[in-house]
Amino acid sequence: MRRPSRLLRFVVLAYVTALVGLPLGFVFQRVLARGLGSLWAALGDPQMDAAILLTVKVALIAVPLNVVFGVGASLWIARHPSRATRALDAVIDVPLAVSPIIIGLILELAYAQGGWFGSTIARLGWRVMFSLPGIVLASVFVSLPLVSRQVIPLLREIGDHQEQTAATLGAGPVRIFFTITLRAITWALAYGVSLTMARVIGEYGAVLIVSGNIALVTQTLTLNIGGNFENFNAYQGFVGASLLASASIAVLVVLSVARHRERRRHGHLTA
C-alpha cells in the first residue's frame, strides 16, 4: 500500500485531535487542576457513587440481555430468512434512527400509570417507570441493534457449511453453536458488546424520561453529571465525566489489544 502523504496525515491527526483529543484532555485537566485532595473528596460524593452503582447495575443486566437477544435475532435473521425476518431486520434499526427522547416517551406511554400496559403491571404489583426495570428497558431498547448489526453480516459471510458439516459429524445444535458458530463470531460479538456497553453507560435522553431522575435512587451516572452541571457544580460534573470517559476508553483498549492478539495467533483477520 502507498504511504499516505504527509499533508493527509497532518489533516487527519489535527481533525481527530481537535474533535476528540483536546476536549477529552480538557476534562481530565479540569479534574486534576484542583489537586488530588479535591478529587478524592469529589469521588466520595454519595450521590455520584449511588449513580455509578446504578449505572453498573444497569449495564450488568442490559448488556447480557442484549447479547442474548442480539445473537438469537442474528441467527434467526441470517440462518432462516423469511418474510418475518425481513420485517424484523428492518424494525431492529428503529432505535438507532429515532431520537432516544422519543424512545423514552414511547416507554412512558406504554408502561406509565394509565399507559397501555400500565394498569396490568400495577395489578401484578410490579413497577417499571421510575425504577430499575424502566432504566434497563430503555437501555436495552436504545442499544437493540448494536450486537446484531455486527453479527448478522459475519454470519452471512461465513455461511452455514461449517455448521452443517458439524451436524454430519454428529454434533447437536447446542454443541454446534458453542464450538462453531460462537467461535466464528467471537470478535464481532465482542465489538457489539463493547458498543452496547458504551451506549448503555452513556445513555441520557431515554433514561432521563423513564427514570424520573431521582438522586440516590434512579439517577444514573450520566444524569448525575448533567444534574451537577445544571446546579453550577461543574467540578463534580467533570469528575463524573472523566470516570465515564475512562470506562469507555478502557473498553476500547481492552478490545483492541485482544483483537490484535487474536490476529497474531491465527495469522489472519477475524471479524
Partner 1 sequence: MGISLHNITKRFGPDLVLDDVSDEVPSGTLTALLGPSGSGKSTLLRVVAGLEASDAGHVVLGGRDVTNVPARERRIGFCFQDYAPFFQMTVFDNVAYGLRVRKTPKAQIRREVDDLLSLVRLESFADRYPRQLSGGQRQRMALARALAIKPEVLLLDEPFAALDAQVSAELRTWVRSLQHELGVTTILVTHNQFEAMEIGDRLVILNQGRVEQTGAPSVVYDHPANDFVYAFLGPTTTWGRVPVRPHDLELCRVDKGTAVTVTEVVRLGFEVRVVVANALGVPTWVQLTHDEAQRLDPRVGDVVGVRVRVAEFAALSRHAQDRPVAGR
What are the residues binding partner 1 (CB under 8 A)? 158-159, 161-162, 164-172, 175, 179-180, 183-184, 186, 266-268
Nearer to partner 1 among residue 31 and residue 71 (C-beta) = 71
CB neighbours of 56 closer than 8 A, spacing ≥ 6? none
Query: In whole angstroms, how close is the CB of 182 to partner 1 at the nearest point?
Result: 9
Cα of first residue to Cα of last residue in the chain, in angstroms, is 21
Query: In whole angstroms, how close is the CB of 52 to partner 1 at the nearest point?
Result: 37
Identify whether the C-beta of residue 72 lies closer than 8 Å to the C-beta of residue 202: no
- Measured distance CA(133)–CA(117) in Å, rounded: 14
* Number of Cβ within a 10 Å radius of residue 38: 15
Q: Which candidate, 133, 145, 234, 245, places its Cα nearest to that of 195?
A: 145
Nearer to partner 1 among residue 66 and residue 181 (C-beta) = 181
Query: In whole angstroms, how close is the CB of 268 to partner 1 at the nearest point?
Result: 5
Cell of 107: 416507554
Nearer to partner 1 among residue 125 and residue 267 (C-beta) = 267
CB neighbours of 157 closer than 8 A, spacing ≥ 6? none
Nearer to partner 1 among residue 127 and residue 175 (C-beta) = 175
- Measured distance CA(170)–CA(166) in Å, rounded: 7
Nearer to partner 1 among residue 154 and residue 239 (C-beta) = 154
DSSP state of 113: T
Helix ranges (DSSP H) in the chain: 6-16, 22-33, 35-43, 46-79, 83-91, 94-97, 100-111, 118-123, 132-142, 144-158, 161-168, 173-176, 182-202, 205-211, 221-230, 234-266
Nearer to partner 1 among residue 17 and residue 165 (C-beta) = 165
Query: In whole angstroms, how close is the CB of 253 to partner 1 at the nearest point?
Result: 24
Query: In whole angstroms, how close is the CB of 140 to partner 1 at the nearest point?
Result: 29
Please report the DSSP string for 48-79 in residue order: HHHHHHHHHHHHHHHHHHHHHHHHHHHHHHHH
Query: In whole angstroms, how close is the CB of 146 to partner 1 at the nearest point?
Result: 23
Query: In whole angstroms, how close is the CB of 167 to partner 1 at the nearest point?
Result: 5
Nearer to partner 1 among residue 54 and residue 184 (C-beta) = 184
